[in-house]
Chain A
Amino acid sequence: DAMVIQNPRYQVTQFGKPVTLSCSQTLNHNVMYWYQQKSSQAPKLLFHYYDKDFNNEADTPDNFQSRRPNTSFCFLDIRSPGLGDAAMYLCATSKRTSGNGGKFFGPGTRLTVL
């Protein structure tokens, strides 16, 4: 089945140690997004790629970066994780289309910072 895959599902890192989260999709969607969801809060958009064009949200910290080497893969890099970066990180995809097509999320990676 076509889907959005995130690896790993659980990631533990140490304070200040760089970490990379990965997302892949078999939907062939143009757009890939990264959201951060802290405990008991709503997801918040960090940035997105439209094809190879990167779009950062104004309030996304510089500590967060992203790479999209091809249509299928997108990575979230946290250069120096702090305790406040512990959260669920959700990858999503969508296709530029009219109508009522959905925006699909992966299962998420839960990041713990020690």
Chain B
Amino acid sequence: AQKVTQAQTEISVVEKEDVTLDCVYETRDTTYYLFWYKQPPSGELVFLIRRNSFDEQNEISGRYSWNFQKSTSSFNFTITASQVVDSAVYFCALSSQIQGAQKLVFGQGTRLTINP
């Protein structure tokens, strides 16, 4: 069975600090996909990134960066120079592509609060 663990339930930092959100996953599939989503108070899930299991290249997008390490089954997310607008719940998710569909299994989420 697939499982995603986000051990940090809540994180609170002061603006401009760097913060890393941890994500550890379990799967027996050789091909799978990892995602990060942001959920602000409005409730919408905002897609941030998708990575497939064959692509361990780390990615940077502005202040966001992702570190995928297959050896430790982790896909961590770092926000550099955090801002108040980054406050949200962040979900890590895992899926396999089954007959063309991406069925996501989500972690429990990390509530990130950035204080001014």
Point out residues on A near B: beta carbons under 8 Å.
Answer: 30-31, 33, 35, 41-45, 48, 50, 55, 88, 90, 92, 94, 96, 99-108, 110
Contact = CB atoms under 8 A, between A and B. Distances in A.
Nearest to B97: A96
Top 5 nearest A-B pairs by Cβ distance? A96-B100, A42-B106, A105-B45, A102-B47, A107-B44
Interface residues of B, number: 26
Contacts, number: 65
A103 B106 contact: no
B102 A31 contact: yes
B50 A55 contact: no
Interface of B: 35, 37, 42-47, 49-52, 55, 91, 95, 97, 99-104, 106-109
Contact of B44 (A100, A101, A102, A106): A106
A42 B108 CA distance: 5
A108 B100 contact: no
Chain B interface main SS type: strand
B42 A107 contact: yes
B50 A100 contact: yes
Given A90-B45, A108-B43, A31 B106 contact: no
Contacts of B50: 100-103
Nearest to A88: B43
Contacts of B46: 105
Contacts of B49: 100, 102
Contacts of A110: 43
Given A31-B102, A42-B91, A50-B101, A105 B108 contact: no
A48 B52 contact: no
